[in-house]
Every structure is written in C-alpha cells, then in structure tokens.
Structure 1
Amino acid sequence: MLAYRRIAAASFRQYSTYRVATAAGVFTNTIFGFIRASIMLAAIGSAGGELNGYDALQAATYVWLGQALLAPIEVFGTRELAQRIRQGDVAIDLLRPVDLLGQFYAAKLGRSGFLLLARGIPPMLIGALVTGIALPSEPFSYLLGASAVLLAITVAFLADMMVNLAAFWLIETRGLTTVYMAVMNLLSGFLIPIVWFPDWLLTIARATPFPSMIQTPIDTLSGRIPPLEALPLIGIQLGWVVVLAGAATLMLRAGVRSVEVQGG
C-alpha cells in the first residue's frame, strides 16, 4: 500500500507543477460552463420553468457540478497505457513489483485529486456566484456525494482502462477511443440529464456503467435525490466497480499472454 500511496502523491505533485495549464483549464472550463448553463436555462425557460424534475436552479447546479467533475473523471479518456502497449514499454511496467492496474489507479487518484481541487472547484464557485447552485439540505448527502464521486472516478478509470487494454489486440485504439468518448459523454448524463432522454434511450443508458460516472454523483451532491434514494445508486456504482475490475483484470491477463513488444 505504501507504494501506491507514493505513486498517488507523486501524481498529485506532478500535475500541480503545470500552473499555466491549470489556469487555462479553469478559464476554459468556466466559459464552457456558462455556455452550457445558458443553453440549459433557455431550454427550461421555454418549457415553462420546469423540465422533467429540473428547475432553473437545479439545472445550473447540474451544469456546474458536471464541469467540476469533467477533469477528475477525465470524460475525454486517456491513451497513456494504450501507447505504452503499442510501443512495447508495457513490458517494463509488468516487471515492476506492483500491479499494473493498481499503479495506474493510484496515479489516477492523485491526478484526479489535484484536478478536482484546482480545476473543478474554482469554476463551480464562479458559477455559484453568478447563477447560484442548489445545496443538499441533509448533511448525510455530502458524505454520500463524496463516496459517489470516488466511485465515479473508479468506474470511469476501469472503463477507460478496458479501452486502453484493447491495444493488446488492436494496436491502434484511436478509433475505439473516439467511439467510447462519444457514447460515454451521451449516456453518462454529461451532455444532458439522462431523465431527459426518450424512454428507449433511458433504458439503454441505465443498463450501462456510464450514468454512474456523472449522473449519480451530480444527483447525490446536489441533493436532487434524498439519501435513501441515493443509496441504491451508490450500490449500482459499487456493482459496476466489481464487474469492470473483473473484466479489466481478465483483459490484462489475456493481453499479457499474447503480448509482443513492438520494435524490440
């Protein structure tokens, strides 16, 4: 465990050195937040002030919490492991005395911790000052919300790792990554709340792990759903962690058996 803690701490420190990139990320995140908020508020206004359980304040909260989670969740995916597999560097990773998925997960937690603090919370605070945000009335919602965020990061990590691990067989995964990003951004609830979907698409979304990455932590943190209703959703997140962790482990084992180091 000490090794993983040090990896997480090193990842946190590494990303904290990119101050200009962090400031640029905050600015961009805030601007896109205002664009998304204006679209959402216009849609709710045209619907008469309420749309499928969302009023103006709840919609603004949805947008700013989504913007806060954008960087920590890494909704646009990563390609580091896929590149290391393609280049053959994964052979070095496999020789280290720590689990491959464990070391990447530790780095992910360190990176996400910094991104949440430095690039997630500032745009949310700016948005709260301009549009306002809804806060939970029950203290237990904050604890559940923190748990939902951690589980969302974990679910997103495992799903992203499965896309990266496909490089053992595909070599080049850019096409798969693009498809994954498009589907994930839609079905996770990042673009619009999944309760705005037509029934057939809502059914599909709920059968995937994607709502556990965005929609569940937003609903829990905003207090839009009470704690008793949030608990089953967190249970679903835990279920997806188990399923995806098992699937990613099986993919890694199968990939290791067939690995060929590219270029020597």
Structure 2
Amino acid sequence: MRVFCAVFALGLRRHSTYRAATLSAIVVNCVFGVVNALVLLAVFDARPRINGYTAADAVTQVFVAQALIGVTAIFGPPLDVGGRVRDGSVAADLLRPVDPLLWWLAQDLGRAVFGLLVRSVPTFASGAVLFALPLPADPLRWAVLPASAVLAALVGFGLRHLYALSAFWLGDSRGVESVGWLLGPFCSGMLLPLTLFPDAAAAVLRLLPWAALVQIPAEVFLGRTGTAVGLLHQALWAAALLVLGAVLGARARRRVVVQGG
C-alpha cells in the first residue's frame, strides 16, 4: 500500500509541475464551455423543454462536462503504456514486484485528483458566475459529486488502459486511442447531452461505459437520476473495465517480446 501511495503522490506532483499548461487548460475549458452553452441556449430558445431538460439543465451539464475533462482525460492524454510497449521499456515495468495495473492506476489517480482540485473547481465556478446556474440546494448532491467524479476517473482510466493494451497485439495503440478520443466525447454527453438525442439512440448510449464519464455525473448533480442508481451505474462499469483490463493485461504480458533479445 505504501508503494501505491507513493506512486499516487508522484502522479499528483508530476502534473502540478506544469502550472502554465494547467492555467491554459482552465482558460480553454471555460471558453469552450461558454461557446457550447451559447449554442444550447439558442437551441432551447426555439424549444424551451426537450425530453424534460430545460436550458438551465443543459448549460449546467456543459460546465459539469468541462469540469470533468481534466478528471476523466476523455480527450487524453493516453497512458504511457502504449509508448513503452513500442520502445520496449515496458519490460522494466513488468519486472517490478507490483501489479502493473495497480501501478498505472495509482499514477493516473494522482493526475485525476490534481485535475479535480485545481482544474475542475475554477472551470465550474466560471460557468456558475457567467450563466447564474441554478445550483442544487440539497447538500447530498454536493456531497456525492466528488464520489461520482472519482468513479468517472476510474471508468476513464479503465477505457484508456484498454486502448493502451491494444499495443501488445497491434504494436502501436495510437490508432485505437484516436478512435477512442472521437467516440468518447460524442457518446458520453460531453458535446451534447444524451437527453437531446432520439430516444432509441440515447437509450443505447446510456448503456455504454462512456455515459459514466459525463452524463451520469451530470444527472446525479441535477437530480435527474437517483443518486444510488447513478453511482451504482458508474461503479459497475468501473469494476467491469478494471477486471477486463486485468484479464487482458495478464494475457498481454505473456506476449511480450522485447526487440533485440
């Protein structure tokens, strides 16, 4: 456990080093949040309520989504695993007397917690100020928001870990990761709330793991879904992806061949 705490702290410290990049990311999240919110306000100006969502709900989800970008890494960065498979340095990772999955998870959770504390809060606060968002009065919804964000980070790691593992079979995970960066924002409710999709499409997208990254946390915060139901949805996907990653990781390690001997 001490090893994983140290790796977690390493991930936290590593990402806290790039202060200018963090500030730039916050500005970008705020700007894109404003642009997306204005587009949705124009849509709701023509139709005040869509499948139960109001303009205020949609704009709130926009800034919840922007706040979760740094937590879930839905646009990247990818895990280092794929690159380390390409250059053979993954062999050194596999020699450590710890489970590689837990090592990479601890490191990535450090990144996610830094993003939650330093990047998410000012991003959401900017939206709340600029658009006078109707914030929930129920303290329970505020209390479960960090738990939902952590579960979203676990789902995000599980997906990125699976993308990276493809390098063991394909030799390069960048193609799979590129597809993931395209699918994730579309299927998660990041670009457009899933509620605004046709009912059949929205029902299918809600069953996919990407919904646990944005749509479910946003609905928990908005009170559009039960707190226990939403957290359970996220927890089940997080557990399923981590178990699948562990199984595929064990198979991948049996395929390792380091070039040069």
Q: Shorter chain as normaliser: what TM range?
A: over 0.9
Match of 1:64 in 2: 63
Do the aligned partners of residues 138 and 87 (structure 1) sit closer, same or farther apart at CA in structure 2, a change above 3 Å counting? same
Per-residue deviation, 1:161: 0.2
Match of 1:253 in 2: 250
Identity of aligned residues (%): 34
Match of 1:19 in 2: 19
Per-residue deviation, 1:50: 2.0
Residues of 1 paired with 2:203 and 2:223: CA distance?
23
The 8 Å contact of residues 163 and 173 in structure 1, kept in 2 or not, is answered as yes
Match of 1:240 in 2: 237
When normalised by structure 1's length, the TM-score is 0.93
- Tell me the amino acid that sits aligned with residue 198 of structure 1: P
Per-residue deviation, 1:118: 1.8
Per-residue deviation, 1:112: 0.9
Aligned to 1:11, what secondary structure does the other structure show? helix
What do the CA deviations read for 1:71-106 (whole angstroms, capped 9, x no partner)?
A: 111001314111111111111111112211111111
Residues of 1 paired with 2:26 and 2:212: CA distance?
24
Per-residue deviation, 1:148: 1.3
Match of 1:155 in 2: 155
Farther off after superposition, 16-25 or 134-143: 134-143
The 8 Å contact of residues 61 and 132 in structure 1, kept in 2 or not, is answered as no
Match of 2:134 in 1: 134
Residues of 2 paired with 1:207 and 1:223: CA distance?
19
When normalised by structure 2's length, the TM-score is 0.94
What do the CA deviations read for 1:184-203 (whole angstroms, capped 9, x no partner)?
A: 11111111111211133223
Residues of 2 paired with 1:120 and 1:142: CA distance?
14
Residues of 2 paired with 1:183 and 1:218: CA distance?
19
Residues of 1 paired with 2:52 and 2:260: CA distance?
56
Match of 2:188 in 1: 188
The 8 Å contact of residues 194 and 205 in structure 1, kept in 2 or not, is answered as yes
Match of 2:203 in 1: 203
Per-residue deviation, 1:213: 1.2
Matching of residue 109 in structure 1 with residue 109 in structure 2: yes
Number of equivalent positions: 260
Aligned to 2:252, what secondary structure does the other structure show? helix
Match of 2:34 in 1: 34
Residues of 1 paired with 2:96 and 2:134: CA distance?
46
The 8 Å contact of residues 60 and 133 in structure 2, kept in 1 or not, is answered as yes
Residues of 2 paired with 1:6 and 1:79: CA distance?
18
Per-residue deviation, 1:3: 1.0
CA RMSD of aligned residues (A): 1.5
The 8 Å contact of residues 88 and 263 in structure 1, kept in 2 or not, is answered as no
Residues of 2 paired with 1:35 and 1:69: CA distance?
17
